[in-house]
Amino acid sequence: MKDKEIFERICSGDEKTLEFLYKKYYRMMTKMVISNSGSEQEAKDIYQDALVVFWQKAVSGNLVLTSKISTYIYSICQNLWRKELDRKKRLSNEEKDSIEYIEHDKEERAKIINKCIHQLGDTCKKILMYYYFDGMSMQDIADDLGFANTNTAKTKKYKCKKKLDELVKSQYTESDFLD
Amino acid sequence: MNNFDLIDAYLDNDMNPEELQRFEQQLSSNAELKRELGFQQELIVGIQQARRLELKARLDNVAVGGNSVGQSLNLSKLIAGIVILGLVGWGIYSLYDDETPQEFMPVADANQETVEELIDDQSENVPDAEETPSVAESDIPKDSEALINTEASENPQLKSEESVSEVREVIKPDIKKPETITGFDGAEEIADSLQAPGTIASKKKESNLSTIDVAIDNTRKKYTFHYQFKGGKLFLYGDFSSGLYEILEFNPRNDKTLFLYFQNNYYSLDNTQEKIVRLESVKDRSLIMKLKEARGMN
């Protein structure tokens, strides 16, 4: 498969092609991290994160590719790994405790929301993810999930978000989130 | 509009300039609205994070081939592996050999010999073929030396020369070994039908096609239809997912001749080829016919 075809498929939201891409450049991308003092697990994580960034930009239509896909992903990997190394450096300094506390707090709240998201139905989950992460248009969401039109998709998205809002609020006290 | 609707419209950029201005004014004076906005924003971050994790989990389930194995295998492990394989192969080889004198004697049939010629020792070499002939020929002396040492310590009268000659003896009767099993299997087949020996031969080949270890690597961009032999293992480079492939072996004991069958073409394989080279298709028509015959395609 050539770059153009891969990119078109990714832009249309084909997750299988993302898997193909992952496999294709796995060695090349992870090698960069490993040869720059990263572990294999870190390398894998960074590469996955980079692909997710690429996916998000491509699917939302916010990416005009002017280089090879591998070059683009490689540069994302490099940036992410640099950031990670900086973060590690900072963590080794004295500010470690306070940063860890804030990060931990954030992570905990994200976990709570994540749990509630998985209590939603499959369609609701998809609508919210496609809309808020993939940045898909209501038309694309309607097409993908088989809704009659964009208005139906919009109404459905509103209801799903409301449901999530209620779910989170009913299961956890506001102080968990709004402190 | 309640707070939820207002915030939803605000976050989705669904407000006109007037509504937006009014909302921002409200926001600066209404602490409750501000808190609710923070909550809604956090929900969106949570949704984004959930999707991120979902995609990563999906990627995590993708098998990335032998890459990590390749990285982790060091040379010493590889050598140790080859030595162990050699020892195991030699063990199987000599065990198998012990049984042959009893079995090959009664069987000597003209039909079977023609089959034999066609097959070129194919069927009987299953145990040997697990270890390639190169291992049998080149590694046995080394391995036998190792064994000799252990035996010698137990039986001091044993000399290395004797054991070398034993190894040679081991090889000799094995030449007839194929006949026994060919005869045995062939007899059953002939009893049922009047198939020509060639057909029988091809059947046998089919059951012995894959005695070679094969690994496929489609991650190397440079190599789209290539191969190499490494440590007795055949590595195919390129996309072989579009069809089934077969490895055809001839004369596994002596000069092993190998062919790859893929998408109606035959490609010759040189088992001494350690460099990555392009697969070349067989052009010789008569050879192709023979190969077809061997695969039972006639």
Mode of pairing for the β-strands spanning B233-238 and B214-217: parallel
Q: Name residues 48-67 of chain B within 8 A of A (Cβ).
A: 48-56, 58-60, 62-65, 67
Contact (Cβ atoms closer than 8 angstroms) between residue B213 and residue B258: no
User: Which residues of chain A are at the B interface, by a Cβ-Cβ cutoff of 8 Å?
Assistant: 15, 18-19, 22-24, 26-27, 30, 34, 40, 48-49, 51-52, 55, 109-110, 112-114, 116-118, 125, 128-129, 132-134, 158, 161-162, 164-165, 168, 174, 177-178
The complex's ipTM?
0.88
Sheet of strand B214-217, all strands in order from the earlier edge strand to the far edge: B214-217, B233-238, B225-230, B277-278
Residues of chain B above pLDDT 90, percent: 11
Choose the most confident range, by mean pLDDT, from A70-79, A100-109, B161-170, B204-213: A70-79
DSSP annotation of B281: B
Mean pLDDT of all residues in B250-264: 76
Nearest to B50 among A24, A55, A117 (CB): A117
Residue B7, pLDDT above cutoff 50: yes
Backbone phi, psi, residue B122, to 5°: -55, -60
Query: What is the SS3 assignment for B66?
Result: coil
* Residue among B46, B62, B68 whose CB faces A117 most closely: B46
Closest residue in chain B to residue A40, using alpha carbons only: B68
Contacts of A177 in chain B (CB under 8 A): 38-39, 42
d(CA A75, CA A28): 12
Nearest-Cα distance to chain A for B66, in Å, is: 10
Give the confidence band of B244 by pLDDT, cuts at 50, 70, 90. confident
* Per-domain boundaries in chain B: 3-60, 75-200, 214-295
Count of CB atoms situated within 10 Å of the CB of B238: 18
Q: Measure CA of the first residue to CA of the last residue in chain A; give whole Å.
A: 51
Give contacts of A34 with chain B, Cβ < 8 Å. Answer: 71
Cβ distance B39 to A133 less than 8 Å, yes or no, reads no
Q: How far apart are CA B57 and CA A92, in angstroms?
A: 29
- pLDDT, residue B157, reads 37
Fill in the amino acid letter for A106. K
B69: exposed, middle or buried (C-beta count within 10 Å: 0-12, 13-18, 19+)? exposed
Residue with tokens 């081939």: B65
d(CA B277, CA B227): 6
Give B48's contacts in chain A (Cβ within 8 Å): 132-133
**3-state secondary structure labels for all residues of A113-138:** HHHHHCCCCHHHHHHHHHHHCCCCCH
Q: How many CB atoms within 10 Å of residue A76?
A: 19
Taking Cα atoms as reference points, which of A72, A71, A172, A159 lies closest to residue A112?
Answer: A172
Place of tokens 């020892």: B87
- H or E, element range at B24: helix B17-29
B48 φ/ψ angles, rounded to the nearest 5 degrees: -65, -40
Dist. CA A111–CA A105, nearest whole Å: 10
Q: In the numeric block, which tokens belong to residue B141?
A: 């002396």
Q: What is the distance between the alpha carbons of residues B131 and B166, in angstroms, rounded to a whole number?
A: 19
* Per-residue pLDDT in tens (0 to 9) along chain A, 179 residues: 788 899 999 998 999 999 999 999 999 999 999 999 899 999 999 999 999 999 999 998 888 888 999 999 999 999 999 999 998 888 777 555 565 566 676 777 778 888 899 999 999 999 999 999 999 999 999 998 999 999 999 999 999 999 999 988 887 665 555 54
Q: How far is A166 from chain B (nearest CA, A)?
A: 11
DSSP code for B254: S
Q: Which residue of A has its CA nearest to B62?
A: A19
Q: What is the pLDDT of residue B65?
A: 62
Residue B201: partners with Cβ closer than 8 Å, 6 or more residues away: B115, B118, B119, B122, B294
Task: Give the number of other CB atoms < 10 A from CB of residue B267.
Answer: 18
Residue B297 predicted with pLDDT over 70 = no
Interface test mutation site (partner A, options B43, B56, B67, max chain A beta carbons within 10 A)? B43
Task: Tell me the residue type at B166.
Answer: E
Do the chains contact at B64 and A26, CB–CB below 8 Å?
A: yes
| The two structure tokens encoding residue A173 | 């006290």
Hey, what are A126's tokens? 């998809």
Q: Which residues contact A108 (CB under 8 A, 6 or more apart)?
A: none
Categorize the per-residue pLDDT at B253 as very low, low, confident or very high, splitting at 50, 70 and 90: low
Which domains are assigned to chain A? 1-93 (1.10.1740.10), 96-179 (1.10.10)
Question: Residue B3 and residue B10: Cα distance in Å, rounded?
Answer: 10
Scanning every residue of chain A, which has its alpha carbon at the shortest distance from the alpha carbon of B65? Answer: A23
pLDDT of res. A99: 57
Structure token digits, residue B224: 């789209």
